[in-house]
A and B are shown apart, each in its own frame.
Chain A
């Protein structure tokens, strides 16, 4: 035999054999088609497999969980607050046959997920209140700074009836039946980001600023009030101290005066005439001086001898 002929036979045989085998990676699953028509439901077992060469064709799909990251949407909540909402989802190709028939590529799957999840998200969000989207539970929040009572009451009035994770679950359960027919299983949907639209955000900033300013003003006036209180206390104590001292002093003085009067009276009462005489003489000494002109009668005790001397 001609060795060239052998060579051709070997090569052809090799190609056929190679084509009969296929490898499924641990992260993959496959669909076998025969003349374009799917055979069976798909194979998920990793390893080496055999097929009819050339007649059967292998289509590979991801077996792992895949991600879908939505584009942020602007949605009004049921209490008319405009927010940006960004969701993400995990999904799997759980029915490769359906997936092959309806969707084929991951890009196409993403566009289906976009359509369905965007729609359900919009429906669910617009029928819920902002507080339910932001908060998950009615956990009791605490506040460091003394808010106005009214502000606190307003915050406490906002009661969570649904909650964030329930909203995410609702979006998932509404989306799941719609996406199932594409051979896709939604593992979960989560709300990644919630943000105010710009104009609302500015307003919230303004509100936060005015809230803080109120607190600051309160601190200041509390300081002033406290200071006034202290100064008032000081004034009162001052008055108390001063008046008490005055009272005590006056009492002491009064007692002394009374005692003095008593002492004088006791002494002078022994001979009021003599007291009068003595005191009058003393008074002369003190009241008569060089500014006085004295007119005296010749019959006065002093000058009476100028007139005559009694014998």
Chain B
């Protein structure tokens, strides 16, 4: 008390002792309350440790803790979804995201079950589901999560053929990875929930890519060659069918023509013959003479030879006029 009096006497001579004490108490309480108040944002929870020991987890809102290092607050963003990238890094996300040009192939290259190599890029989205575990069970959860993800994805890819990894089974691989990662992290009691795993670019290694593309182009080539052949087929066969029909039609035409002509000739013959029968001799002669009438004017020369005359032929220079 002497000490107090001394201070009072020297520094604040005009203020009464009681008043000072009151102010000190008021200020102390104010400081206690102000430093003890804290806000927890909507996406987080507050974890309170008293003398290092876990006390409670507080929800978003205004809360109070004992200050002066007795209660320690750690805010854990449990609603925030975090993302880890494997085999690539986004430098700046946006409409046209920028990616790091560094080579992360040591992360993305992996062996497949048929002892080939695939280049797999993927992302893991996760959130903290148990703030206590997140803070107090595993140190450096992020790098643990990365290691686990690499091991899980590789183990699943390791049981698949390169075809399955690149083409057939992408979604299945992602689903299995989610389950398995969650299982491993739960065994660790990591307090992490895997929201999703998505395989991004899954490719054959760069050096092998052209050969894979060649298969695709060969497949298309195959289709093209086949289509071309079908096209030719479709051009030729209908045309041939048309031609065949024409040949048959023509034959039918020939047949009708031939039979008609024969019938015509026959009828004509019979008509003539019917008349001939009634006056055989006269008709025969007439026909003969009519023919000669028609034929003889056409002939250049007619030699008339008496039937008794022999050896006339040698006298005629038959080739002269030619």
A binding-site residues for B, Cβ under 8 Å = 3, 6, 23-28, 45-48, 62-67, 69, 88, 90, 130-131, 134-137, 139, 141-145, 155, 158, 164-165, 187-188, 190-196, 201, 204-205, 207-209, 212-213, 215-217, 219-220, 222-224, 226-231, 233-234, 237-238, 241-242, 244-246, 248-253, 255-257, 259-261, 263-264, 266-268, 270-271, 274-275, 277-278, 281, 284-285, 288-299, 301-303, 306-307
Contact = CB atoms under 8 A, between A and B. Distances in A.
A191 B150 CA distance: 9
A264 B272 CA distance: 14
Contact of A268 (B205, B214, B256, B269): B269
B154 A192 contact: yes
Nearest to B206: A205
| 3 residue pairs, one from A and one from B, having the closest CB atoms | A223-B222, A256-B255, A245-B244
B139 A249 contact: no
Given A134-B112, A141-B159, A271-B277, 20 more contacts: A26-B52, A46-B51, A46-B52, A145-B215, A190-B151, A209-B207, A219-B219, A223-B218, A230-B233, A234-B229, A242-B243, A252-B248, A281-B287, A290-B300, A292-B300, A293-B321, A295-B305, A296-B305, A302-B288, A302-B292
The secondary structure that dominates the B interface is helix
A259 B262 contact: yes
Contact of B305 (A27, A193, A215, A297): A297
Size category of the binding interface on chain B: 35 or more
A260 B296 contact: no
Interface centre among B109, B248, B303 (most CB of A within 10 A): B248
Given A64-B137, A301-B288, A141 B295 contact: no
B232 interface: yes
The secondary structure that dominates the A interface is helix
A264 B262 contact: yes
Contact of A267 (B205, B237, B269, B291): B269
B171 interface: no
Given A139-B113, A219-B215, A145 B163 contact: yes
Contacts of B158: 134-136, 164, 194
B250 interface: yes
A284 B291 contact: yes
A216 B211 CA distance: 8
A67 B255 CA distance: 101
A169 to B, nearest CB: 13
A182 to B, nearest CB: 18
Contacts of B276: 271, 274
Interface string B169-204: 000000000000000000110000000000000001
Nearest to B226: A226
Interface string B74-90: 00000000000000000
B8 interface: no
Interface centre among B51, B110, B307 (most CB of A within 10 A): B51
Contacts of B316: 295
Interface stretch (B13-21, B23-31, B60-68, B141-149): B141-149
B236 interface: yes
A274 B273 contact: yes
Interface centre among A24, A64, A229 (most CB of B within 10 A): A64
A209 B210 CA distance: 8
B240 A242 contact: yes
B252 interface: yes
B265 A264 contact: yes
Contacts of A281: 287-288, 291
Contact of A299 (B148, B161, B243, B307): B307
B247 A246 contact: yes
